[in-house]
Structure 1
Amino acid sequence: MKKIYVLVMCLIATTVMAADIDERKVLSLNEMQRHHILTEMNALLLGTQQILQALSEEDMMAVARHARMLGMAMAHTGENHLRSVLPEDFMQLGMSVHQSFDQIAADAETLKNPKHTLGQLSTTLQRCVTCHTTYQIRTTDLPAEAEAQPAHHKHH
C-alpha cells in the first residue's frame, strides 16, 4: 500500500517535461475565478491523499466519507459563475471527476474492497492528468471585483 501511495504522490508531483513552448489551451480567468478553481483542485488533492491514507488503514468507511466530500455536492458550490468562461469539455471533465468520487464512496461502502477503490482512484486521477496536460490558467488584467468597483478604486 505504501508503495502505491508514494507512486501516486510522485505522479501528482511530476510536471510535464515539454518543449520550451507551452502548447496547452489557455483558460483566461480573473483572480477570483482562478482562486476558485485552484482552491477546488487543492481540496481534490487533499481529499485524494486522505482517501489513500484511509485505504492504507483499510478503513473503508473513512474512504467513503472523504470520497463523498469530493463528489457532486462539492461540484455545486459556486460553479455557475464559471460556466460562461470555461470550455464545455473542461466542465464535463470536472463533473466526471466529481461523479467518480461519488461512485468511489458508494462502492467503498458496499464492496469494501481496497483494490477496487485503488483502481477507481487511478482512473479518476487519469482524468486529472488529462486536464492538467490539456489546459493552463492565465490571469486576465480584469480585477476580481471588476463588476462591483471601478479599477481606479482598487487598493493594493
Structure 2
Amino acid sequence: MFNSRIGLIAVILWVATAGVFSWFFVHGNTEVGSDGRNAIVLEAGERSLILGEMRSLLVATQGVVQGIQQNDMKHVAQSARAVGMASAVDVNPALMAKLPLEFKSLGMSVHHDMDDLAAAAESGKPAPELLGMLSTTMSKCVACHSAWQLKAN
C-alpha cells in the first residue's frame, strides 16, 4: 500500500513537472511589453546574444542583396549560408526554454530559408526568384519585430 502511494505521488509530480515545462516551452518567459508587443524577458547577456544573431541576419541579408545586384551568386550563397541552420545549432537549452514557441518557430524558419536561398543561388536560380525568396524571409523578420520585443531583467 505504501509503495503504491509513493508511485502515485511520483506520477503526479512527473505529470506536473511535464506540464510546467510544456507551458514554458510554448509560452516562454513573457510579459506585456511597454509598447503593446509581447516582451520576452531575458538576462542581459541572453538579450545581447539574440540581438547579435539578428544583426548577423541583417548583415547576411545585405550581402545577399549586394551579391544579387552584382550577379555574384557565390557571394549570395556564402552570405545566406553563414546564417543558415548551422549557425543556430549551439543555442543554450535554458535560453530556448525562455523563448515562446512562435518566436522560436519564426527564427528557425528564417535560418532554414537562408539555407534554401543559398542552395537556390548555387543552383543558378535567376535573380528575381532569389529576391522573391528573400522577400518572403524578410516578411518573417517584419512579423517577428512587430510582435515581440526583448527585455533584459
More helix by percentage: 2
Counterpart amino acid of residue 46 in structure 1: V
Equivalent position SS for 1:28: strand
Does 2:38 align with 1:25?
yes
Shift, 1:78, TM fit = 2.4
| Residues 73-82 or 60-69, more deviating | 73-82
Given that residues 67 and 104 in structure 1 are in contact (C-alpha distance below 8 angstroms), is that contact kept between their aligned partners in structure 2? yes
**Runs ≥4 residues deviating over 3 A:** none
The C-alpha deviation readout for 1:50-93, integer Å capped at 9, x for no partner, is 11111110001110111111100111132433211110110010
Aligned residues: 120
**TM-score after normalising by structure 2:** 0.75
Determine the C-alpha separation between the residues in 2 that align with 1:51 and 1:80.
30
Larger Rg: 2
Equivalent position SS for 2:35: coil
| Residues 107-116 or 83-92, more deviating | 107-116
Cross-structure match for 1:58: 71
Determine the C-alpha separation between the residues in 2 that align with 1:112 and 1:60.
9
Structure 2 runs not aligned, ≥5 long: 1-33
| Identity across matched positions, percent | 42
Does 2:109 align with 1:96?
yes
CA RMSD of aligned residues (A): 1.1
Equivalent position SS for 1:84: helix
Q: Pick one of 70, 79, 84 that aligns with 1:71.
A: 84
Given that residues 25 and 134 in structure 1 are in contact (C-alpha distance below 8 angstroms), is that contact kept between their aligned partners in structure 2? yes
Structure 1 runs not aligned, ≥5 long: 1-20, 141-156
**TM-score after normalising by structure 1:** 0.74
Residues 103-142 of structure 1: pairs in structure 2 closer than 5 A:
103-140=116-153
Counterpart amino acid of residue 113 in structure 2: S
